[in-house]
Structures are given as structure tokens and as C-alpha cells.
Structure 1
Amino acid sequence: MPAADPTSGPARETHADPRPEDQPELPVARVAVDVGLAHLDRPFDYRVTPEQDATAVPGARVRVRFAGRLRDGFVLERVATTDTDRTLAPLHKVVSSEPVLTPEVAALVRAVADHYAGTFADVVRLAVPPRHAAAEKAADKLAEKTAEQAGEQAEDRAVPEAPWPDRVPGPLPAYPDGAAYADALRAGRSPRALWQVTPSAAPEADWAAGFAEAARACVEGGRGAVLLAPDQRDVARLEAACVAALGRARVVSLVAESGPAARYRAFLAAAHGRASVVVGNRAAAYAPVHDLGLVALWDDGDDLWAEPRAPYPHTREVLAVRAAQQGAAALFASYARTSELQAYVDRGWLRPVVQTRVAVRHAAPRVRVSGDDDRALARDPAARAARLPHEVFELVRSSLPSGPVLVQVPRAGGRLALVCQDCREPVRCRFCQGPTTLATGSDGLLTCRWCGRPQVEWECPICGGRHVRSPVVGASRTAAELGRAFPGVVVLQSNGETRLDGVSGTGAIVVCTPGAEPPAEGGYAAAVLLDTTLLLLRPDLRASEEALRRWFAVVALVRGGADGGSVLAVGDSSGRALQALVRVDPAGFAVRELADRADAHFPPAAKVVTIEGPAPVLQEYAALVHEPPGTETLGPVPLPVREQLPGSDGEPLLRLTLRAPVREGGALVRAAKEVAGVRSARKSEGAVRVRVDPLVLG
């Protein structure tokens, strides 16, 4: 491996050569140096001294001299020779002999960096938590004590045999092929499935218990598992289910929110093999579990799975790459279904585990849309236009005696797309179908947020209207109106700032914003979805998909249809998302959504790379990039002022979008990474942010 010159690589040092008999058997360490420069994204060779031979093991943390400075790094491997003719500099110091970067995780880090046009140094920071010396020493003592008690050598680090809790039937057998999936895990095979969880408060919809059931089958087959949930509340629920199914000794929780010491202890417990199952959020996707047999992810559509740090990997893709590399089983589960998972199903990489339509109709609450039948319209002619039609008050009044009622209202103040003032149809670009906005200081001129083209003399394709508006809604006002309509009934509010952990099973009205719905004891008797049109108006490619995901999350909190659970949505029943909600058909919606993405050339039916930076940087970038055949260029378009880059000094930022067919996606990502390497080698000025298949396109 290369050893660069003193200005860009390891410094050469002269030392007296030790005697040949003292030389290590493998005297060369290949080190991944913590340097985020794209043109230096490769390992470098260093010499291992006799004193470092026992501690400079693959995966150990080291300090090396690089370009005249001491930098951190990881030993990737030890080899006998180097392919450079230069004198190798020795490792400056072995910080810790703990092998925290396993070969499997190192290979995953490399693959993720290449997939997202990033560097190894950026991704390894996400994979390996910072060292906590006290936790490391305590873990070593525990490993030695365990080995002594087992009568084995300390380096074997045997897992203590803990008692198994009694097996409790889980929800997987309620789904066709669910029991067969668990049996395959128990037999040591690696099936890959998309578990379409039927949304309701019934036991067969308990996704956490299903994950725990799959993890126990995997551990009984002699392998480990990584189970992920998006937020801390879901992680706590998943951990409790796993502890009940496998026992405390086999399960650890790996989350950044637990603090540096606790996180590092959990990481080492997995690395030493003391814990077979790791639960956590996106920080646990790279957990060094021994003999990995299962990776599982709950609700891949949640935007928390998108890493906010470069190179911005999505946890769903990280787990897919890891399952393919390590031959592990995969289980992706959710109430809704994203286009990305549908693409996996279409390619045959995932197999659906879904209840029959008859079972879904029996288990899920009854869902209907206000004003969707002649009888409702006869009683309330304004049902389709009113924000709170008569049906809402009827449902709340009839449901309160049997339990609480949940009312979901989109949060006010969000940035929403423009709509036609007459028919409320979203205003889309006539060239690329992107969302539009009013140009600053343009006296009402509409421009596209994707391609930047002006929409001169816009006319609604549905009704022919020429006027637009931006709708706004408020949750507090809704709570006040319902409180006046139902005097004496407790009205609670739950939102991002004051989120309720749960509510009792007695009659009450709970008004919440999307994502802040508290579970109710025994499930809600009914739920109301207000202003459904507003959730569909996000200036985002995934607006319909995200709206349906949030609605299904509400449906999942309501008692099943057999127990009288009911959901009422207020909106236009002709919309595709609401029709899928009424039918409880996330699969059908995902199939049509993916087809639309293919027609519009957007992910996952196409590969998209966005480049954000000042105008001179984008001009340089466009001149350097070698686009593969079929690549389209959109923009550049201005970015909002709040989306600033470090080092941009407040200079206005633009976004350039490149998109190519899926078959050319790898070439497009490599081209983007090559440009980053050229700019890095040139020491070009100006910050730039590159995203591959960004979660938000708007």
C-alpha cells in the first residue's frame, strides 16, 4: 500500500533496525488514518516495532504521524511486506489493543463510503463510538473473570450460558410464512422478508414482540442479531420485548443518548460476544455482533434513519449492504411501505410476509372518509368542504363512552407547497413536476424548487384557476373547538414540545400532531384525521408516502375492527393515499408510487446526486464531473438561507441535481467521488455538500 510524501502522507523516520530475530512476523500494519480528504481515502502502511507486536492487532486504535501531524487511525490488517519502496514510519503509539473495528465492520464501512460517495474516515466515526478508557478496563476485567470461571483462556471470552425465559407465542404465526421465517432462522438459514404489520392495537400487530421472536429464533440457531427502531421510545419498547424473550444477559441497548460510558460498554459487550442481540437506533447499525445472523429495522420511512452527517447514509441501505456482505437474514417491518422496500420486493431481494385481505379487514379498524357516501352528504351537505364536518362530532360522541378518541392535526407553521385557490390542487412545475414557490421579490412569480424554471402564466390543469394560496392549520385551535363542543370531557394535547407518554383507557379527547401520538391503554376507541390534504402538500417527492405512513401510525393505535375501532379521515376521498388508507393497502400504494417514480426518473427508480455549494464551486464541479450516459442535469437553484454550509461565510448557496438510470447509478456515484478527490488534491476553495439519493427532494 502507498506511503505518501511528507506533505500528504506518513512522515519517514530513521531508527536503528532491531535484530532480525526480534522482528515481528508481520511487520507491516495497514492503517486507516483519520483524514477526511477524498484523495487520501485509502489505507497507508506503517512499520510495527517489536514492542508493538502484541498490541497492534487488526482493529486496534493507533496514533500515527501523517503529513507532519499526529493523527488517529485503525489497524486494518497486518501483512508481511509492503508494496512501496520507501522506508516506513513506525506506528507512533498503540492507543488501545482492543480490536474495536472488526474485519466485517471495516468492510461494511468501506462499502457504505463508496455507496454514498464519502470517505472511510467519515463513515468509521459513525460505526465505532469514541473510546471510554474506564469502560474498556472494566470490560477487560469482566472478560478475564468470565473466562476464569469458565475454565478457559481470557482471550476466548466465552459467553456465559444464561437461562432462557419461557417461550411466549409471538405475532409472527398470525401471518402466512411468519412461522416459517422464524423456523428458517432457527435452522441457521438467512431469509429476507418485508413484514407488513397490520395496523391495529391487537396483539398480532405488536412489531416489537415479533422482532424479539425472530431474534430468539436466531440466537437459538447459534447466531446474533441487530434490531433497530427509530427513536428512544421505540428502542425502549423493543428492548423490553427482547429482554422478556431472551433474558437480560443476552441483550444490550446501543444508543448514543445513553451517554459515552454506557454506549461504549454496550459496544464492547457485543464485540466480546457477551451479548448476542443488540437493539438501538441508527448508531447500532454497525454493531460488532458475533456471527451475525439477522438484521431488522422498524419503520424505514421515518426520517430519523437518514444520517445528518456526511456522507449522509440511510440506515435501511446500510443494513441491506450488511446483510448481503455477511450472509445474514433481513427483516424490514412497518405499517406502511416505502418505494425503496417495494423496489426490493420487485427485484426478489425481499419476500412479503402479509396477512390475507380477509384477516386485515377483521384485524384493522374500520377506516372511512367523511362525506364519502350519499347518506352522509344528505345529513351534512358541507361534509366535503368543512374542516370539522358533522361526522366528526358524531364519531367522537359515540366513541367517548367506550374509550379515548385521538384527533390528529398537522402542525401549523410548516412550509407547505402552494395550492390552487379554487380546487386546492397542488401547484406543480409544468416541466419536471416539482413543487413550486413564490420567488423572493418577484411580485407573485412562481418558480420551481427543483429545476428553477419560472412558471409564467400558470393555470391549474384541473379547474383552470389562476390564483394560488398557502394553507395553514392549528392544533391548539382544534383542541379549543372540541373542548367547547364537548363540555366536561377532558381534552389533552400532545406535540413535539409537550409529548405525552401515554393516556388511560377512560373517555378523553387527545389532540396531537403527527409523530407525537401517545398510546392509549387498551387502544383508542376511535381516531379522527383532520386536514389530511395538508399533509399531502409538503414540497417533497415523498409527501404522499409520508402522509400515508403517519396515518397508518394513528390507525395502529386504534382497537381492531372486531372490537369496534373506527377511524374517520377528513379530506378528498378521491386521492390515492386516502384510498389506500381506507383499504388498508400499503402494498398497492407502494406499487403505484414506485411506478410514478420510474416515470418521473426519481429514486429509487433512478440514482440522484445533489451537489450544494456557492456558484463558483458548482461551476467547477460541473466542469470536472464525467457524467455517465443518460445523466440529466437539473438546476442549479437557490437554497433557503438556513441551509448554510460550514465555511460558506453566508454566501448564497445553490443546488445542482444529477440523475441517471439505476443501471448507471454506480458510475454516477463514482464520478461524484472522483470530483471530490480532484478538488481535494487541488485544495480548491469553497465548501461543497454531496448527497446520494437524499431523503428530501424539495
Structure 2
Amino acid sequence: MSSENTPEGGGPPEQLALIRDTVRRAKPRTWRGAHLAEELPVARVVVDKGLLHLDRYYDYAVPVQMADSAQPGVRVRVRFGARMTAGGRREGGELHDGFVVERLAASDYPGALAPLAQVLSPEPVLSPALLRLSRTVADRYAGTLADVLQLAVPPRHAKAEAEPSPAPLPPPPAPAPGSWQRYPQGPEYLSALTAGLAPRAVWTALPGPDWPGEIARAVAAALAGGRGALVVLPDGRAVGRVDQALTALLGEGRHTVLTAELGPKERYRNWLSVSRGAVHAVIGTRAAVFAPVHDLGLLVVWSDGDSSHSDPRAPHPHVREVALLRAAEEGAGVLLGGLAMTVEAAQLLRTGWARPLAAERATVRQAAPRVRTVEDADQARDAAAQAARLPTVAWQAAREALATGPVLVQVPRRGYAPRLACERCRTPARCRHCAGPLEAVAAGELRCAWCGVPEEDWHCAECGSFRLRAQVIGARRTAEELGKAFPGIPVRTSGRDAVLPTVPGEPALVVSTPGAEPVAEGGYAAALLLDGWALLTRADLRASEEALRLWLTAASLVRPAGEGGLVVVVAEPTARPVQALVRWDPAGHAELELAERAELGFPPVSRMATVTGTPSAVADLLGVARLPEGTDLLGPVPLPPLRGQEQERALLRVRPGQGGALAAALKAAQVARVALRGAEPVKVRVDPTDIG
């Protein structure tokens, strides 16, 4: 039978080290009929069962025929849950995949050990560094090691494994600074990478088409210094742009791509080339952050505010946080870059963990397009261009720009849920108890979406108004309306059903949802950002930050102001994100957002977790959990029913430095509830990205 060898949940590193150093005096006993390996006859295995109460290592006996192949890091199959009869035969149990994490001379388990059932492959795919990182990520997010390993190690493909990997290439020469010269600290940052150092920077990229080439030069600098590089991007289109830039700069064979679109065989083949040390540079999407790059010297995360960087699968790790954990563990440099800046990046700058990497204001003004604002209230009063659902200013800008090139029209997705705000000054309506967002539950009734406390006498703290607004303008017929307003002009659409990577530089209207904007050859002549309050009034803590990020992403595709590029944004001109867009100042916006969150106790200044389930299950878990001292409980509040069952959610908030204790407490409470048969499931999420 397998044995438990670590404390619940795997235990902190110091406990694991103590257990590993324990002297094991007894030779392992095994079930009848198994002949054991003469040396190191015990294999410690992590079993692929993502259950919290089974999140530990298990000892198995190594049969003599597997003595050479069952090495640390390889995939194996083991029988889990079997029992030994009085006659020494096994009974029951199911076969499960797993990984050997180490070989031992003896086991602490007093009973007989079950033998390994099969070595699936002699390929060592789980390195000690990847195992440590996966364990750290699992503990941070109150998850299991098995769940994290499913994200970190791709499924095996036998044919790809049988193919030889290419021979590694020598380091390339140090690259020239190129467009990095536009940033005062840019050449110095590249020089530090070439020297083998580990500089950490938050990079505010200039608008325009140069950022893929700048990432490529940073990767080349790390390779020139004899170290590896890893770039994580939010989607396949961004990966394609950086892939082209790296190939143009370094040629073929210097890097590899890891994305789900490649298919299982090619993706595993590329992953093996990295694991075997044949390739030292990787670019890819979310799961690539775990890629086993040898001697990692640089970690690049592009657009860390994009929701694609948060994994939808348990335990929901975020690429930025995994990258920071890995950089600290492996001594790698960090380049946290984007056109916008998140509050988490601003906090890294405030604490001094990273240095800013930004251009001078004169350079920013030279690279950015001109931005004009139109108050959304003017659109309802404007009868000059009702057919196109555009204010006169936007309609005229589009008509003039179409004479020289394509025009981008960004329309928010349908289904955005607006956040309540003051009708007069647009200040978000917040709860007086916990500062959470207010929501309408019935005619004239308000309630906090976080703590559930009703608000009976709301008025705006800024202007004193008693009137609220929640506005979302549909975009279903935008393309048809624009086609009628601009006869003879081609109208192209890019969105969820079909995303265009590029469009020609000829006159056309390109209607796109946020994040799906295609790149135009030579840049767009103009961009129209419609229905701004559909983004700004979303019921999300990150509404302002996300609106600015989406606007900057679209506006960066427009030609510079010196070439006639113009952006028209339809939103309240005095709103903070709108003013940041006009000034092209994402760093200043992030600093103000961080200061406001610090005042209100919001992440990242605090750490949060959500507990979601039926009312009885949520109450049960909260009753069992030994939460850190000073934990704030917000809620529970009701949610829409799930499969006919009532649902509610509670928010837990702790001070900085208590995030690990909160995750450990929630995980221990989940394990305790599993021990009670019949306990209803509860979904726990640490550091959720969508705190509404």
C-alpha cells in the first residue's frame, strides 16, 4: 500500500527537507510476487489525483525490471487505493498516472508497499526546479500539486518523444539597441542582460508596431549572455508577431513556440526541445510560463492586465505571479511590459522590487496619435449622424480619415454588466460599509455586491446627487449602420466569431470588439472608441484599469499625430481613464489607482479570496476554517442559482503578508470537510481577478 510521507498539503519547504533527511532504517516490504531493485528500491511518487486530501507524496516499491527506467522526473502508472489480502495479494484499486520525484533506500511507511505498475516513458519531464515551482504555486493558490502539474507538463505524445531534438546552437552575438534607444534606460537594460545579470523592470511600451522587435532584442541579449529566455503573451496573435520578430533578428532554431493551437504532437515536440536543453528561448501563451528553460535569465510578461493570463482551471494561477515566483527562485531578470500598466506593476515600482523602463514625455508625444474626447451624453442629443450612431465629431473624423487609410471602430462586447455610478459626475456608487460596488436588486433598492449590506439612503459623495445611471449601448448592428452611413466603403468585422490578424492599408471601416483589433498595414488613419461607459461602468474592481488598457491597445495601432493619426473616444472627458488616454499616461493612472486601493483596502494592497457554494456549504467552510487574525469577512451575498441550487459568495480580505496563511487555512478547511462524507463542494479562489 502507498504511504503518506508529508504533512497535509505537502507542507512548507523546511518540513519537506526535514522529512527527506530522515534516516530510513527498514528495508521496504512489498506484496507477494514482486522482486525489488537492489539499489534505491523505493520510488516517491506524486499521483495525478487533484484532490486536496490526497495532495502528498506516496511511496511505491520499484520492481527490478524498472530499476533503470524509474528515475526521478519520469511518468509512471501506479495502483492507487488497493488493499493487501491476508495472503499477500492486492485487491481493488485503480491505475493512475504520476511522476517519480525521487528514489529512496527505504520508506517510513510500516506496511507493505505496492509496486510501480508501469514506467510510461524513460523521459525525465519533471525537473527538480519545475517541481519546486509547481509546489510553490499550489500552496499560494490553495490548490494541489497534481492540478498545477497538469498545467505545467503537457500530455505525452509517444511519436514526438521518439524524435531526436536538434543540437543546441552557440550563443548569438549581443544585439544592437535598435528602437530601445528611445528609452533612456533601454540600452543599459540590454547590457545588463548580456552581462548575465538579472535586471527587473516594469516597461511602459511606446505606441506603434515596434514592441515585438523590442522583446526580440531583449531575448537576444539574454541568449548572448549565455542564459535562457521565456516570453509569455496573452494570445496567439501576439505570439505570432514576436515569433516573426525573433526569426528576423536571430534566424531559425534559436527559439521555439508553445501554444495550444500547435496541436498536441508539435507542442510536446517543442516542449521536449526545451526540456532537453536544445533550445534556450521560448515564446508562448499562459502555460508557457512553466516551460523548463535551462539557466533561465529573463522572464518577459506582455500585457499582464489581460484576463487571458489568468488560468480558468484550478487552482487559477496568474502568469504574472508565477513569473515573479519563478524569477525569485531561479535568479532571473524580469521584464513586465505593456502599453498599459496594472496596479500590481505599479506596486512593484513603489516597493522598489523593479525599476521603471519608460520613454521621455517628448518621445511619447511624438509616437502617440492625437486624442479627442466626446461626452457620451452628446451622442444622444446629436441628430447629425444618427444613421451611424456616431457624434458629429466622430463621424467627421472617420470621413476625413477614410481618404488616407482604414478606420478602426472599437465597440464593447454585448453582455457587459454595468456598474452603478452617479448620473451627474459618474463617480462609482460604493458601499459605506466596505467600499464595495452597489448593485440594484429591485426597483429603488440597492445592495453591496461584496458584503450584502443594503443601502437605503445613497447619495454621491462627490457632488451630492441622488440619481444613478447604468448604461450599456448595444453593438449588434454597428457594422450595418456604419455601412449605411458610409456607402461604398468596405466594412470588415473582427470579434469572437472571427478575429482578423491584419487588414490592408486601404480605406475601410474595421469594426472590432476590444482585444480583437487587427493590425493595419501602415497603421490606421483614425480610431473611434465608442460607448466608453460600457467599459467604465462594468461591475468590476478593474473597470477603469481595463478600459484604459483596451483603449491604449486600440489607439496604439493608429498612426502618430505627426502623420495625421487621430483617436476619438466617446466617454465622459473628465473620467480618470479618459484623461490618462488623452495624456497617454498609463503609469500615472496606475499610480492613482494604487493610491485609491490602498485607501480603501483593495488588492493588491490587501489579499483576497472568494468562497462560493450553497449557503450551507459556505457557512460550513467558514465555520471550520481557522482564518488569520484580523481577516475581514465580506458577505456572504446571493448569486444566481446553479443547477437549481441557491448559491452565495463570501469575500475574505487579509492584510499584506497574510496571503499565504489565508490560502493555507482555506486549504486545510477544505481537507477537513472532505473527511466528513457528504460535505457539499465549495469553490475557493485565491486572488481572484474579477472582484465585482
Q: Given the two structures, how large is their TM-score scaled by the length of structure 1?
A: 0.88
2:12 match:
none
1:505-530 per-residue CA deviation (whole Å, 9 max, x = no partner) reads 22222222211211111001122222
- Assess, with a 3 A threshold, how the Cα gap between structure 1 residues 168 and 400 changes in structure 2: closer, same or farther: farther
Closer, same or farther in 2 for the Cα pair 1:683/1:127, shift >3 Å? Answer: farther
Matches of residues 512-551 of structure 1 in structure 2 within 5 Å? 512-551=512-551
2:316 to 303, 312, 315: 312
Give the equivalent residue in structure 2 for 1:488.
488
How has the CA–CA distance of structure 1 residues 327 and 425 changed in structure 2, closer, same or farther, with 3 Å as cutoff? closer
Distance 1:391 1:569 in 2: 10
Whole-angstrom CA distance in 2 between matches of 1:350 and 1:126: 28
What is the match of residue 87 of structure 2? none
Mapped to 2, the partners of 1:561 and 1:577 lie a distance apart of 20
1:127-526, aligned counterparts within 5 Å?
127-138=152-163, 142-143=164-165, 159-160=168-169, 170-201=178-209, 206-370=210-374, 388-420=390-422, 425-439=427-441, 442-461=442-461, 465-526=465-526
Indicate conservation of the 8 Å contact 1:225/1:294, yes or no.
yes
| TM-aligned CA distance change 1:329 to 1:463, over 3 Å | closer
Distance (Å, rounded) in 2 between the aligned partners of 1:169 and 1:176: 11
Q: Is the 8 A contact 1:475 1:513 kept in 2?
A: no
Alpha-carbon contact 2:615-2:648 (below 8 Å) kept: yes
**1:192-248 deviation digits (Å, cap 9, x = unpaired):** 1111101234xxxx2211111111111122221111111111111121222222222
Q: Give yes or no for contact 2:349–2:356 (8 Å, CA) kept in 1.
A: yes
**Aligned-partner residue type, residue 637 of structure 1:** V
Is the contact made by 1:228 and 1:279 (CA closer than 8 Å) also made in structure 2? yes
Match of 1:106 in 2: 131
| Whole-Å separation in 2 of the counterparts to 1:498 and 1:261 | 25
Asked whether the equivalents of residues 345 and 351 of structure 1 are also in contact (C-alpha less than 8 Å), the reply is yes
* CA distance, structure 2, for counterparts of residue 346 and residue 316 of structure 1: 17
Residue 28 of structure 2 corresponds to residue 14 of structure 1: no
SS in structure 2 at match of 1:242: helix
Partner of 1:153: none
Q: Offset at 1:381?
A: 13
Would you say the 8 A contact 2:416–2:534 is kept in 1? Answer: no
Is 2:81 aligned against 1:42?
Answer: no
Change (3 A) 1:198 1:92: same
1:381, 1:588 → 2: CA distance?
36
2:645 equivalent to 1:651:
yes
CA distance in 2, matches of 1:655, 1:414: 20
1:691 paired residue among 676, 680, 685: 685
SS in 2 for 1:248: coil
Instruction: Provide the rounded CA distance (Å) in 2 between the counterparts of 1:456 and 1:345.
Output: 40
Q: Which residue of 1 aligns with 2:629?
A: 629
Q: How big is each residue's C-alpha offset from its partner over 1:551-583, in whole Å with a ceiling of 9 and x where there is no partner?
A: 100111011233222222222221111111111
> Equivalents in 2 of 1:180, 1:463: separation in Å?
48
In the alignment, what sits opposite 1:663? Answer: 657
Match of 2:272, as an amino acid?
Answer: L
CA gap of 1:339–1:672, structure 2 versus 1, over 3 A, is same
Give the match's secondary structure for 1:447.
Answer: strand
Q: Check whether the contact 1:629–1:664 (CA below 8 A) recurs between aligned residues.
A: no
Q: Tell me: CA distance 1:52–1:413, structure 2 relative to 1, closer, same or farther (3 Å).
A: closer
User: Number of residues paired by the alignment?
Assistant: 657
Amino acid at match of 1:159: P
2:75 is matched with which residue? Answer: 61
Report the Cα distance in structure 2 between the residues aligned to 1:483 and 1:84, rounded to whole angstroms: 74
Q: Tell me the distance in 2 between the aligned counterparts of 1:443 and 1:175.
A: 54
Question: 1:372-427 CA distances to partner (integer Å, 9 max, x unpaired)?
Answer: 9xxx99xx9999xx973332233223322222222222233422223455665543
Contact 1:387 1:570 in 2 (8 A): no
Separation of aligned partners in 2, 1:88 and 1:341: 49
User: How far apart, in 2, do the equivalents of 1:285 and 1:167 lie?
Assistant: 24
In structure 2, the residue matched to 1:155 is none
Deviations 1:234-279 (A, max 9, x none): 1111212222222221221111222111111111111111221111
Structure 1 Cα separation of the partners of residues 440 and 369 of structure 2: 41
**For residues 443 and 474 of structure 1, do their structure 2 counterparts lie closer, same or farther at Cα, with a shift above 3 Å needed?**
closer
The DSSP-based 3-state class of the residue aligned with 2:402 is helix
AA at the equivalent of 1:244: A
Residue in structure 2 matched with residue 610 of structure 1 by the alignment: 610
CA contact (8 A) 1:165 1:246 kept: no
In structure 2, the residue matched to 1:681 is 675
1:446-498: CA deviations, max 9, x gaps? 22221112222434445655554532313354444444443333333332223
Matching residue's letter, 1:627: L
> Conserved in 1, the CA contact under 8 Å of 2:193 and 2:225?
yes
Tell me if structure 1 keeps the 8 A contact 2:431–2:437: yes
Aligned to 1:149: none
Give, as a single letter, the amino acid of the residue that structure 1 aligns with 2:408. L
Report the alpha carbon displacement of residue 33 of structure 1 after superposing the two structures with TM: 1.3
CA–CA distance in 1 between the matches of 2:447 and 2:565?
45
Q: Describe the superposition over 1:565-609 as per-residue Cα deviations: whole angstroms up to 9, x where unpaired.
A: 222222222111111111111111111101111122121110101
CA deviation after TM superposition for structure 1 residue 321, in Å: 0.6
Identify the residue that residue 121 of structure 1 maps to in structure 2: 146
Asked whether the 8 Å contact 2:34–2:63 carries over to 1, the reply is: no
Mean Cα deviation higher: 119-128 or 214-223: 214-223
- Structure 1 residue 351: Cα displacement: 1.2
2:24 is matched with none
Question: Shift in Å at residue 42 of structure 1?
Answer: 1.6
Q: Is the contact made by 1:387 and 1:530 (CA closer than 8 Å) also made in structure 2?
A: no
Aligned partners of 1:337 and 1:586 also within 8 Å:
yes
Deviation at 1:13, TM superposition (A): 3.9
Identity %: 48
User: Which letter does structure 1 place at the counterpart of 2:206?
Assistant: T
Bigger Cα displacement from structure 2, 344-353 vs 305-314: 344-353
1:368 aligned counterpart, secondary structure: strand
Distance 1:490 1:547 in 2: 28
CA deviation digits over 1:57-78, x for unaligned, max 9? 1100111222122221111112
Cα distance, 1:169 vs. partner?
A: 5.6
- Contact 1:23/1:49, CA 8 A, preserved across alignment: no
Gaps of 5+ in 1: 147-157
Q: Are positions 1:23 and 2:23 aligned together?
A: no
Partner Cα separation in structure 2 for residue 179 and residue 166 of structure 1: 11
Q: Which moved more, 1:223-232 or 1:558-567?
A: 558-567
SS in 2 for 1:126: helix
SS of alignment partner, residue 535 of structure 1: helix
* Aligned mates of 1:278, 1:200 — CA distance in 2: 24
Q: TM-score, length-normalised on structure 2? A: 0.89
SS in 1 for 2:691: coil
Indicate yes or no: 2:99 matched with 1:74: yes
